[in-house]
């Protein structure tokens, strides 16, 4: 009987070792899955930030280089509809944001949307899974610029232009803008203040996927 028991233990021991090995491999594989998830999450965060940066850059600069005194009501309407954005500098901003998040970005836009695809510089790292040391994180995000306001109807014409205080011409009529939240923005074309702050009041930016 002792010989039989010893033989049984000898047969079970290799099976036990195999089971422990499988469990250890499974545990390490779960660790790799977690590492891959963290890398993917980092890529998604970088993509979101880069897409938002691109859209905000285009929005904040919609009035840059424009003389508001020369804008007709039709041009104001086009701007407020979102038809006058320039996306060329926006993608450069997206790439800069990706670099600051240890990633590279490919950017494309179809106004008013900005799509950014990001690849992380870091990889998942060496592990029990072959090839994990070459696996980079990839993610895509799209940001949208949405108009928040529209031009108020023009007031009834006045009999004559309002003279300027110094007598050097006429005072331009203020531009009235109505927003969806019920607010009203009055813009003085001769002294509009910060153009980027004005743009932020007129347009919102959000992620769409």
Q: Domain map of the chain by residue range? A: 2-207
Query: How open is the CA angle 82-54-104, to the nearest 5 degrees?
Result: 155
If pLDDT is split at 50, 70 and 90, which confidence band does 114 have? very high
pTM (2 d.p.): 0.72
**Lowest-confidence region among 16-30, 56-70, 110-124:** 16-30
Three-class secondary structure of residue 136 per DSSP: strand
Statement: residue 69 has pLDDT above 90: yes
pLDDT score recorded for residue 28: 45
Query: Which residue in 70, 93, 65 sits closest to 196, CA to CA?
Result: 65
Output the pLDDT for position 138.
86
Specify the pLDDT at position 162. 53
């Amino acid at each position: 009987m002792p010989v039989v028991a010893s033989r049984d233990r000898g047969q079970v021991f290799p099976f036990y070792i195999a089971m422990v090995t499988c469990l250890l491999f499974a545990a390490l594989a779960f660790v790799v899955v977690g590492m891959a998830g963290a890398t993917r999450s980092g890529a998604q965060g970088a993509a979101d930030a880069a897409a938002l940066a691109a859209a905000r850059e285009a929005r904040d600069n919609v009035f840059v280089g424009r003389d508001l005194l020369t804008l007709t009501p039709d041009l104001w309407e086009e701007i407020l509809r979102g038809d006058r954005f320039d996306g060329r500098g926006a993608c450069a901003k997206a790439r800069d944001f990706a670099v600051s998040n240890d990633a590279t970005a490919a950017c494309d836009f179809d106004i008013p949307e900005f799509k950014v695809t990001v690849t992380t510089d870091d990889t998942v790292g060496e592990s029990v899974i072959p090839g994990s040391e070459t696996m980079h994180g990839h993610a895509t995000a799209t940001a949208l610029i949405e108009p928040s306001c529209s031009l108020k109807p023009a007031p009834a014409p006045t009999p004559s232009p309002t003279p300027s205080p110094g007598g050097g011409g006429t005072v331009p009529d203020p531009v009235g803008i109505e927003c969806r939240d019920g607010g009203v923005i009055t813009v003085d074309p001769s002294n509009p203040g910060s153009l980027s702050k004005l743009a932020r009041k007129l347009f919102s930016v959000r992620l769409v996927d």
